[in-house]
Structure 1
Amino acid sequence: MKRRLVLAVVTGIAATVAVSASPASAAGGVPHVKGGETVPVYSYENAVRESVWVQTPLDNDLDGVPDKIAVDIVRPRETAERHLKVPVILEGSPYYSCCGRGNESERKQYDASGTIVKQPLYYDNYFVPRGYAFVAADLAGTGRSTGCMDVGGREEVLGAKAVVDWLNGRARATYADGTPAVATRWTNGRTGMIGKSWDGSVANGVAATGVEGLETIVPISAISSWYDYQRYNGVLRAEDYPEFLHRYVNGRPAEACAETLARLDRDSDDATGDYNAYWAERDFRPDARKVRASVFIAHGLNDTNVTTDQFAQWWGRLGVPKKMWLYQAGHVDPFDLRRAEWVDTLHRWFDRWLQGLRNGIDREPRVSIETAPGAWVSERDWPAAPARTQRITLGNGDGTTGTLGGASGRAVRTWTDAPDLSEAAAVAGPNTAVAGRVAFLSAPLSREVRVSGTPSVTLRVRVDKPTTELTARLVDYGTATRVDYLGRGEGITTLPTESCWGASTAADDACYRDTAASLITSDHAIVTRGWQDAAHRVSLRFRTPLRHDRWYTVTVPMQATDQRIAAGHVLGLILQASDNEYSTPQSTGATIRLDLRGSSLSLPLVGRLPAPGATAPAVSAEPVPSTFAPPRFDPLVP
């Protein structure tokens, strides 16, 4: 059933019907359920606004008392006056005080007495009138919380979990004056977590504890493994990154968290790039089997900040009801891409899993994918069911540019690491020799093919140093209009107009700047990228140095993707050593010899590549000027 969204600023409608004390999931005795969905009947202006501090089981600031999480709550007045119990939408974030949330970087605001008067984003404006409470928690060591931010670790996750426990009567909390705060007086405990970037990452982490009462999560552009966020298969993304993130969001005096900061520096182990106990603590994927909550993922297929393996490897492990949106932009919230459809879908998702309304959303196709700017399709699952992994040989071609498919003979390619070679220069002009890279091209496609899943390239190499970094890029050569995810807005342009999504007060309006897709016409585009430290080829837990007189097989996994390559276009594979844009190269200056006979590209394809010619086709591809600055040293952007 298509529902009509209310886009006007709503001042709130007071309920005139007696409210049952039963949970909203009863659906028959509450005024906010009508026609199988929740509707706005409660006053947002008159809502209860309060703050509590939830006690956690940890004390990582070592002050001798349990750390506390500051929680700001907006809930219908009827939960206090008429004993209505409602479910909760919870966002845990480190950004509420330091940096802001959403496209307009909104922060929490308080009145002179310390009472919350403005929550970032539209979740409270839209959902509180519909019979939900909205709870915004400052992660440990940020905002008004105590403890110390440990960047994806136990303090962060268990602190947010304690909020879910409190909502279900299993943890203690107090008001500012020290009096007990009891959540079970106004909530039925059914909790959903939501958030973009770091906020969505903590939702993944809390779900992986299996905490009871967490009924659903909506991770947007979120991390499922902090190692894979800060390391690319042993390749260092940026030096001192955990410490940088800690300082960026820290809300405590420096001396209070000096020990935590020292542990982040020591245990993250920049020197080796190894996966160790520190990273295992911040890897939620092995605990996917513990997840009880349903999961609704949203992620940009061209997100270069939180890369696509974060959603792909999480999605594939989940055994719960799940749904996913994939889109062509970068690190962008779907609220700023496809606003009406996103709010409608999110509303139905929360109604299903928090209000218990059987609205059919869990029986619809699981996956919605943007296949081209503004063109969306629905599918049953991901990767695409018809996709089959195909092994594609690396042919010798003309001896300079190789072919995808075809005979390699005894051909060898040799190049020396050029750490200053940019991505733009590496992928341009693939028919010419460029120092520091080698190129392979398919024949022009006779019909469209689709890459759906996780490609990789297996390389048989001999290296004159104990290790080298290896970089692979899959490129679509062909002119098309594409989402400009490398531009300043990562695929969107912010407009001067506004639209409103819920009820407002003088301090907290529900109106947000509209956006439009940012498009570019280009003669080529990166389909996916991948990186591998050769010394970590055997295991990410330890290094195995290479001997200069031996051949080794090294597989470079690329990021998951779902892209259609049009008929007439050419698919290219570009190989480099270190990459100075998406990582902090630890260049050894190695010279790499590549044996084409022992090397191949593994592609999850719908369709097939055409048979190659004896030589690669001529391709015109100019370097693309861009305002993009890869997020090497940036935090997870709000």
Structure 2
Amino acid sequence: MSRRSLLLVVFTALLAIAGTVPANAQKPPAFQVKDGVTQPVFSAAAAIRESVWVETGTDLDRDGKPDRVAADIVRPSEPAARGQRVPVIMDASPYYQTLGRGNESELKTYDSAGKAVKYPLFYDNYFVPRGYAVVLVDVAGTSRSRGCLDAGGPGDVRSAKSVIDWLNGRAAGYSAVTGGSKVTADWTTGATGMIGKSWDGTVANGVAATGVDGLRTIVPIAAISSWYDYYRSDGVSFTSGTIADLTDSQESQWGHAHCAAVQQELKAGSPANGDFTPMWAGHDFVPDASEVKASVFVVHGQADHNVKTINYGQWWNALPPTTPRKIWLSQTGHVDPFDFRRQAWVDTLHRWFDRWLLDVRNGVEDEPQASIERGPDQWADGKAFPADGVRDTKFFPASGSTAGVGVLGSAQAPAGTRESFTDDGRSAAESWIAKPGDPSSSRVLFSSTALPADKQVSGTGSVTVTATPSTPTAHLSAMLVDFGPATIRSAQGEGVRNLSTESCWGENRPGDDACYQDTEATKANVTGQIVARGWADLANYASLSTPRQLTPGQPYTMTFRLSTVDHVFPAGHRIGLVIGGTDASTIAAPAKLPKVTVDLDRSSVTLPTR
């Protein structure tokens, strides 16, 4: 028996022992391995391209028929001719005919027969020759799918889950969006990996939280884990729009015409006051993270102000302890790793999919769990995230010699120590740290002495503030700041910019090339940088679902979250805490702008440090 044949036999036996081979996938998968990775032995140009519409079991558009979602498939023809089966890489998105995908905003294109020609991103060009099928799913209510877009509700999640069920013989697929003949997936092993950035990665999180059989791994990039935490933070609303407006902007003409009821449910369930409602609970995947059976490879930018980092932090922490996992944290904003660490990303993703979809024992799971960008293109690996040895450490603010500018340390302030600021409704966080030694009417600032050694903060911290408002409404913002000179990725282009050159990743075929613009880091020299942020409505001090009326002149204590972070404060730098009212760059102002007095002896920040 040849070495390759032996590999295939052993692989099939291992799957059978694990009980993960679906009934329709008894033949071995097709792949060739060299140096621990699959080789490009199949032709992308000769690949089979087809579309299937899968019933989701919902009727969100209320047309009296089960919703069907479109899945555009590209798979190597050679294994099909030999009766061999292939695993699936899936990206389910609402953006294939609107914003497009990737740095170059690629859209799906179709020929006159309705077959997909352009498959956005490099996944098909690179992985189809290596023995994978790539399946791009139009989320319900978008592009060629029926149903309604509902941002993490049953429409989104079942769009992709139903396709996984179809791949494993548990759901019905058809050759057309209405009518058509039944189509079966007799060409696949059923093993599926989901990947995607932003909304796409969010769908992957939601599907994984169902515990669906056949989903072997997910790679959520800058993904949401709770839609409440995309639009709200501890009772306060972000100014980034509404959930109903977002879904409405992506829906196809079919969705616009038939989805008024779903839109109304989203509007009614997302009141502007920031309360946590049953609608938000139904769009939160964190409580069901314990159901995840797949391995998880998280990627997120620590400067992502679109999908705040609390989303990856709470998701990561809620996964079962036995979940095989890996995490990359960059200094970028809302950016795909293909555009900030391209070669390493393609190599690592390749080995990750080979390991979890084809059981190639390449050791990727034994490598350091975390890889974190400490400076532009300066990456450091860590054994675990949060870092081994972190413990919650409490820091206390205290007054200094200048009003509103104090110290941050291990000693609690004397009873009765207070500092005040006035919410002007228009100041932004970056302006609060620009001159840390100067007083400001719109914030108070506290900083430690120069650190004698590096201090790492790794995980999710929190701020406790005892505040007395002068009006019945008050919002709070808190910033964890690294004061000291550093070169970081700048906010320009969210930390990257395009170059005039291209690089190619996979095989070109007519209508779908594998070449993409190269990028490089944008850099900035700073003397202070915000490394974690938190926002809250003081009226929600006792409950996120039921705000309380505030009495002017009465103190209230509220603990709220900071964003998840892994950051090293170098020796000689100072740890800063800023507390203000409305951070106008992010949150809405309260109805009546207050003066806020902070009781320092009853306020603190808790950080996971080592």
Residue of structure 1 equivalent to 2:357: 354
Identity of aligned residues (%): 47
Match of 2:588 in 1: 584
Q: Contact (CA 8 Å) 1:472, 1:556: kept in 2 or not?
A: no
Between the aligned partners of 1:493 and 1:219, the Cα distance in structure 2 is 23
CA deviation profile, 1:520-555 (whole Å, cap 9, x unmatched): 112211111110111112221211222234322112
Question: What CA distance in whole angstroms lies between the structure 2 residues aligned with 1:248 and 1:108?
Answer: 18
- Give the alignment's Cα RMSD to 1 decimal: 2.0
SS at match of 2:49: strand
TM-score, length-scaled by structure 2: 0.93
1:408 is matched with 413
Structure 2 residue identity aligned to 1:165:
D
Name the counterpart of 1:210: 211
Counterpart-to-counterpart distance in 1, 2:70 and 2:207:
17
The aligned runs of 1:248-267 (5 Å cut-off) are 248-253=249-254, 254-267=256-269
Q: Which runs of 4+ in 1 moved over 6 A?
A: 17-24, 26-29
Residue from 575, 578, 582 that aligns with 1:574:
578
Give the match for residue 151 of structure 1: 151
Number of residue pairs matched by the alignment: 586
How far 1:79 moved relative to its partner?
3.9
How far 1:94 moved relative to its partner? 0.3
CA distance in 1, matches of 2:402, 2:600: 11
Q: CA deviation at 1:257?
A: 1.5
**Match for 1:275: what amino acid?**
F
Give, in angstroms, the shift of residue 24 of structure 1: 6.9
Equivalent in the alignment of 1:520: 524
Q: Which residue is equivalent to 1:338?
A: 341
Q: 1:496 to 1:24 in 2, by over 3 A?
A: farther
Aligned: 1:424 with 2:425? no
Match of 2:164 in 1: 164
- Give matches, 1:214-253, under 5 Å: 214-238=215-239, 241-253=242-254
Measure, in 2, the Cα distance between the counterparts of 1:230 and 1:58: 26
- Which of these residues, 329, 334, 346, is aligned with residue 326 of structure 1? 329
Q: Distance in 2 between matches of 1:29 and 1:403?
A: 62
Listed one character per residue, the Cα deviations across residues 476-529 of structure 1 (whole Å, up to 9, x for unaligned) are: 222221111x22x10111111111110111210111111111111122111111
Does the CA-based 8 Å contact 1:26-1:356 persist in structure 2?
Answer: no
1:446 equivalent in structure 2: 452
**2:277 alignment partner in structure 1:** 276
Deviates most, 144-153 or 596-605: 596-605
Question: Is contact 1:335–1:342 with CA below 8 Å preserved after alignment?
Answer: yes
Q: Per the alignment, in what secondary structure is the counterpart of residue 398 of structure 1? A: strand
Q: What is the match of residue 46 of structure 1?
A: 46
Amino acid in structure 1 at the alignment position of 2:367: E
Q: Give the Cα separation in 1 of the matches to 2:36 and 2:387.
A: 32
For residues 317 and 22 of structure 1, the distance between their equivalents in structure 2, rounded to whole angstroms, comes to 37
Question: How far apart are the structure 1 equivalents of 2:565 and 2:362?
Answer: 31
User: Cα–Cα, structure 1 residues 65 and 332, in superposed 2: closer, same or farther, change >3 Å?
Assistant: same
Secondary structure of the residue that 1:515 maps to in structure 2? strand
Q: How does 1:503-542 map to 2 (within 5 A)?
A: 503-542=507-546
Q: Secondary structure at the match of 1:246?
A: helix
Distance 2:145 2:155 in 1: 12
Q: Distance in 2 between matches of 1:33 and 1:593?
A: 65
**Any conservation in 2 of the 1:107–1:119 contact (CA below 8 Å)?**
yes
**Counterparts of 1:43 and 1:23 in 2: how far apart (Å)?**
26
Cα pair 1:20 1:29 within 8 Å, conserved: no
Contact 2:299–2:327 at 8 Å: present in 1 too? yes
Unaligned runs of 5+ in 2: 15-27
Distance 1:246 1:554 in 2: 33
Q: Taking structure 1 as the reference length, what is the TM-score of the superposition?
A: 0.89
DSSP-derived class of the 1:396 partner: strand
Distance 2:427 2:30 in 1: 63
Name the CA distance, whole Å, in 2 between partners of 1:204 and 1:424. 32
Higher relative contact order (CA 8 A, sep 6+): 1
**How far off its partner does 1:30 sit?**
4.2
Alignment match, 1:600: 604
- Alignment correspondent of 1:5: none
- Check the 8 A contact 1:146/1:252 in 2, yes or no: no
1:365 aligns with one of 340, 365, 368:
368
Q: Could you tell me which runs of 5 or more consecutive residues in structure 1 were left unpaired when the two chains were aligned.
A: 1-16, 607-638
d(CA) in 1 for partners of 2:8, 2:348: 28
Answer whether contact 2:240 2:586 (CA < 8 A) is retained.
no
SS at match of 1:597: helix
Deviations 1:249-286 (A, max 9, x none): 1113433112221221112222x321111011110000
What displacement does 1:20 show? Answer: 11
Check the 8 A contact 1:419/1:578 in 2, yes or no. Answer: yes
